[in-house]
Amino acid sequence: MRKADTVVDEEDVRRVVTLAIDALRRADPQAWEAKAGTLDWTCWETLEHLADDLFTYAARFGLTKPPMSTVLPFRTSSERSGGPANVIFVERDSGPEALMTILEACGGLLTSVLRAAPSTTVAYHVFGPSDPEGFAAMAVVETLVHTHDIAQGLDLEWSPPRELCERVMKRLFPHVTVDGDAWEVLLWATGRIALPDRPRLTEWRWYGTHGA
């Protein structure tokens, strides 16, 4: 049964994380210190950041009443100046396969928590408080675009399902007209590329607010 055009759910999170892992497992194990696309982070750091996003999203919905005005008070740190400030880090000596394991674990945790959370639950996000569906869409976008960043650094192909791109665009980027390839429009909307009729964005955001 086809999902409604704007519905994004926990199974989409599981699906996109699985697709990302399948794509990234093809990388040269020695290449993970390459810069991730246009980011200032390495491919290794970017995947840690993605796992961290999924974990901290899940943690919000582990509470009966998630906070509405701030993130949870985890102690974050960075392994180097300019690197991402995370809760989650992966043991370097374990190699890239450990990165995949942690990403899968964090994606599975978020999938399970979103499935269990009442649809009326709302939690804080810097771009506006949102419900489980909104956080599922945010997790999908984070996975799509950061896998793109990493794939660029690792010289891999990454071409996600267009229908999924269309649904997250409608859920989180209602201000953006999708008048071409939905994946290319999502990359434009998140500041990754320019399009022939749209200069590359230097600032961008999504709109995840519940009921938006």
Summarize pLDDT for 104-120 with one digit per residue, the tens: 999 999 999 999 999 99
Band (pLDDT 50/70/90 cuts) for residue 67 is confident
- CA separation (Å) from 66 to 24, 60, 73, 117, 141? 33, 6, 12, 11, 22
Helix, strand, or coil here: 42? Answer: strand
Measured distance CA(51)–CA(175) in Å, rounded: 28
Helix, strand, or coil here: 33? Answer: coil
Band (pLDDT 50/70/90 cuts) for residue 60 is very high
Band (pLDDT 50/70/90 cuts) for residue 210 is low
Q: What is the pLDDT of residue 3?
A: 57
Q: Please tell me the pTM assigned to this model.
A: 0.95
Least confident of 12-16, 72-76, 152-156: 72-76
Counting residues of the chain whose pLDDT is more than 90, the rounded percentage is: 92
Taking a C-beta distance cutoff of 8 angstroms, is the pair 211, 129 a contact?
no
- Residue 57: pLDDT over 70: yes
Q: What is the pLDDT of residue 1?
A: 37
Q: What is the pLDDT of residue 32?
A: 98
**Tokens 């390459």 sit at which residue?**
34
What mean pLDDT comes out for the span 155-159?
Answer: 97
